[in-house]
Structure 1
């Protein structure tokens, strides 16, 4: 796919932002990685992209910064994205983010009505890649009964009481565990509590638990309204994690004291590169009058230079930027993740890494070939 080189700003020089900046710079774009912390920028700098000290909460400074940019990718905490998106609209800068926050996405959809720029929230893994997989799974059936999506970003070697290590954003994790979760039940979108709906899952001989978390479905409940009877997204963790989190967030009422909860997670579940990401999608529906089931399992391991969650989130986001620049996505207004076809997504330079670097690559390539044949 031949694309025009663009001036791209990446906001947030944390675990994911620096990887996104590197991937985009490697594709030839003029990339500037910005953060409020000079120390964070110094740690992330690698010579492939420029850096600039910009506090995304300072909207006047942000407005000046984005005026000279074609695209902005926000890898900032979700609570900064409303302001960033608003400034992007004002400066005519196409906008991408990694948010899982439902309220933030609803706001971006609202301001996207009638705008000349594209607003593409919820890029990355979940929401993001998982929404493209879910929509593709639904399209494989003549009529859809059930779509289940399960995603886990986990330590390869769990050693603490939480059986978990923070792999990206503590604020995003707490948000997912506290907010109501959208599902489709008996054909109707409904809200269910986070940390509920506990189920046991066995994948490739490893035992997991799965439970409701907020935001993972993205806009799929709206896109597949009236087309699927039951659809859910749940987070995968090692058994026992949900009960501990329920004790902390509900029993000790730390859902109302997020600063204390943030300190606990930062202390008890430190970041690790020794992680694994597991993606499981299954669908049940009718094909040619017969009830059938189809499934896909993908697994990604971290490397000495990049964790699995860094790879999957950054590649998912950069693939959407590639699709936009290649004319494979709407060029203005609010853009859903499932506006991208799986075929196009996996054909991008970044998206292809989600097949080539997965233990389930054969399954992903098979899905890719299936969509090409169907086309």
Structure 2
């Protein structure tokens, strides 16, 4: 039985901890700075540890003697957690979409002798695997479009949005630059640009460029596709309101204020839906063809259930942990999500939310 440390007792961390404990194949420890939260939320049978993620000694003490750490903490803590994992010889997993911290994790992974797998949630993560799989079903792939959104099922405010996950991560998406491939060239573009509209199952949506969700796909598909981009899905009108806040009122320059405004004015919801819409066009057998992967994942209806973003994000990392345990992933080095076989992913017991 492998010993796994999950850091962070928020919604995603708890979803991971509960599922791994229920599997019966992992000896789980849950670490967080909030002892009260640990006492209330920890799954029965899990070890609980009060951990100060800003202190290397606290992190290393929590990791000692374990096989892997799953980092479900805010993105800015990732480099410190990765360094502690290296010092203690643990495999490392995280869920971050942040570009700069992932670069730091990659540097830490060099020569560590263990697997480092950042960005392995929903986006980046699962959608990266899907896109890479579709591209390789073409003789010549031209255009790759990734559209992903975590939306409220019943929004009733002007933004037509409710909070479903990390506010810091949301602000990163809206404020940081976005990497794309355009006409064969890798480049950065501004977030909130490239507004487009589409319909799915009779519902109208908009999509626009946001940061981080594309993960390492631009690196992996450089020279292999003509165009590649990632956009976040929202209900119509959301982008214009966010652009006013982020750009016109310059809240991207005052992110703590931005965070306070969002968390004060926008309710949290568990009644959400995750939309995944990945499309590739190119040549197959001499014909210009298109293939799409489309999923809608809904939050559980019962009060004790999980939201859609919990289920999909947690599934992304749990599948990878299980694949490593089963010997289907390399035991060391830096892993990009798209290096994973979609068949291996979907065949895993933890992939059920994507089925």
1:17 deviates by: 0.2
> Which of 233, 238, 259 is matched with 1:236 structurally?
233
Q: How far apart are residue 333 of structure 1 and its match?
A: 1.2
* Aligned-pair CA distance for 1:50: 2.0
SS at match of 1:279: strand
- 1:31: which partner in 2? 28
- Per-residue CA shift, 1:283-323, capped at 9, x if unaligned? 10101111101112100111121000000000111001111
Matched-pair contact (CA < 8 Å) for 2:297–2:353: no
Question: Are the structure 2 counterparts of residues 240 and 108 from structure 1 closer, same or farther at C-alpha, using a change threshold of 3 Å?
Answer: same
Alignment of 1:125-136 (within 5 A): 125-136=122-133
Residue 345 of structure 1 is matched in structure 2 by: 345
Query: Deviation of residue 257 (structure 1)?
Result: 1.1
Q: Is this contact kept in 1: 2:75–2:98, CA < 8 A?
A: yes
2:307 maps to what in 1?
307
Structure 1 residue 68, shift from structure 2 partner:
2.2
**1:259 aligned onto 2:256:** yes
Task: Choose which of 80, 84, 88 in structure 1 pairs with 2:81.
Answer: 84
Residue 78 of structure 1: CA displacement?
0.3
Task: Tell me, in whole angstroms, the C-alpha distance in 1 between the residues paired with 2:52 and 2:189.
Answer: 36
How far off its partner does 1:116 sit?
Answer: 0.4
Alignment of 1:140-151 (within 5 A): 140-151=137-148
Report how many aligned residue pairs link the two structures. 351
Q: Which of 109, 112, 116 is the aligned partner of 2:109?
A: 112
Unaligned runs of 5+ in 2: none
Moved over 4 A (4+): none
Gaps of 5+ in 1: 356-375
Q: How does the TM-score come out when normalised to structure 2?
A: 0.97
Per the TM alignment, residue 352 of structure 1 is displaced from its structure 2 partner at its CA by 3.3
- Cα offsets for 1:184-218 (capped at 9, x unmatched): 10111110100111000111111111001111111
| Aligned-residue offset at 1:324 | 1.2
For 1:60, the equivalent position in structure 2 comes to 57
Secondary structure of the residue that 1:165 maps to in structure 2? coil
Instruction: Provide the rounded CA distance (Å) in 1 between the counterparts of 2:217 and 2:239.
Output: 25
**Is the Cα–Cα contact under 8 Å of residues 127 and 217 in structure 1 kept in the other structure?**
yes
TM-superposed deviation, 1:25: 1.2
Q: CA deviation at 1:350?
A: 0.5
Q: Does 1:47 align with 2:44?
A: yes
| Equivalences for residues 162-201 of structure 1 within 5 A | 162-201=159-198
Q: What is the distance in 1 between the residues matched to 2:47 and 2:259?
A: 31
Whether the 8 Å CA contact 1:329–1:339 is kept in 2: the answer is no
TM-score (norm 1): 0.92
